[in-house]
Amino acid sequence: MTIFDLTPPSDAQRKDITAGLDRDEKRVLLEHGTEAAFCGVFLDNKKDGVYTCRFCGLPLFRSSAKFDSGTGWPSFFKPYDDAHIKLIRDTSYGMIRTEEVCARCGSHLGHVFPDGPQPTGDRHCLNSVSLSFTENGEALPDVLGRGAPEGEPAAAEA
């Protein structure tokens, strides 16, 4: 069970946040697009911290779960909290895949595949443009003004 408020953003909050997104962010987050491989800003990020939803700020993955999958997109073997990710069957482009969206705001994050490392065997393959990053010790984003634990320092997994 998560300690974060998963209530979706209000219509007014959605409108305000969407107005601050660039064209590529809108295409990926809101229209289920994909950024080009090997060009995302977080692909080679080696810093310790937490990856959050670019749209609503919900913590999604810890750097300790990140690995180099060789696919060209940031990859993780487990989420920050399973409750923070919603999985949806994706049959676009003649394929059957599992899409990942933020459980709070519904923004498109990427896809999960069953070919990752142990202990989970999962590869959460994400678009950098769908993410923000907070180094351990820095305040987590509080995009929706919800208060603690948002806005408090990110910490390594206990």
Mind listing the pLDDT tens digit for each residue in 107-157? 999 999 999 999 999 999 999 999 999 999 899 999 998 887 887 777 777
DSSP 70: S
pLDDT at 158 over 60: no
Which range is least confidently modeled, 21-30, 46-55, 84-93?
84-93
Query: CA end-to-end span of the chain, whole Å?
Result: 16
Name, in order, each residue with C-beta under 8 angstroms of 116's C-beta and a sequence gap of 6 or more: 67, 69, 75, 77, 122, 123, 124
Q: What is the pLDDT of residues 85-116, one digit of tens each?
A: 999 887 777 778 789 999 999 999 999 999 99
pTM: 0.92
Mean pLDDT of 6-10: 95
pLDDT at residue 77, as a whole number: 97
- Indicate which residues carry an active-site annotation: 125
Mean pLDDT of 4-28: 95
DSSP 63: G
CB atoms near residue 6 (< 10 Å): 15
Q: Which CATH number fits domain 23-135: 3.50.50.60, 3.40.50.2000, 2.170.150.20, 1.10.3720.10?
A: 2.170.150.20
